Amino acid sequence: MFYSEPCKYSIRLIAKLKSLDTKNVLDFNLINKAIYWAKKYHGNQKRKSGEPYYTHPLEVAYMISDHKLKTDVIVASILHDIIEDTEVTVEMIEGTFGQRIAEMVDMLTRDRPDGTKLTIEEVINNAYKKADKEVLLIKLIDRLHNIQTIGSLSAKKIEKTITETLANFIASSMYLGLLEIESQLTESCMYYDSKQKNKPYKKKSIFSFNDHTSPLLSLIS
Mean pLDDT in residue range 168-180: 94
CATH 1.10.3210.10 given to domain 1-152: yes
pLDDT at position 93: 98
The residue ranking higher by pLDDT, 205 or 144, is 144
Mean pLDDT in residue range 149-169: 91
User: In the chain, what are the domain boundaries?
Assistant: 1-152, 154-221
Task: Give catalytic status of residue 164 as yes or no.
Answer: no
pLDDT band at 181 (very low <50, low <70, confident <90, very high): very high
pLDDT at position 209: 35
Mean pLDDT in residue range 178-206: 81
Asked if residues 78 and 34 have their Cβ atoms less than 8 Å apart, the reply is yes
Q: What is the DSSP string of the chain?
A: --TTS--HHHHHHHHHHHHH-TT----HHHHHHHHHHHHHHHTT-B-TTSSBTTHHHHHHHHHHTTT---HHHHHHHHTTTHHHHSS--HHHHHHHH-HHHHHHHHHT--B-TTS-B--HHHHHHHHHHTT-HHHHHHHHHHHHHHHHTGGGS-HHHHHHHHHHHHHHHHHHHHHTT-HHHHHHHHHHHHHHHHHHTT-----------SSSSHHHHGGG-
pLDDT in tens, 29-87: 999 999 999 999 999 999 988 899 999 999 999 999 999 999 999 999 999 999 999 99
Task: Give catalytic status of residue 85 as yes or no.
Answer: yes
* Catalytically annotated residue among 21, 85, 159, 164: 85
pLDDT at position 214: 34
* Catalytically annotated residue among 84, 94, 106, 187: 84
pLDDT band at 126 (very low <50, low <70, confident <90, very high): very high
The residue ranking higher by pLDDT, 155 or 213, is 155
pLDDT at position 23: 97
Considering only 96-110, 165-179, 184-198, which range has the smallest mean pLDDT?
Answer: 184-198
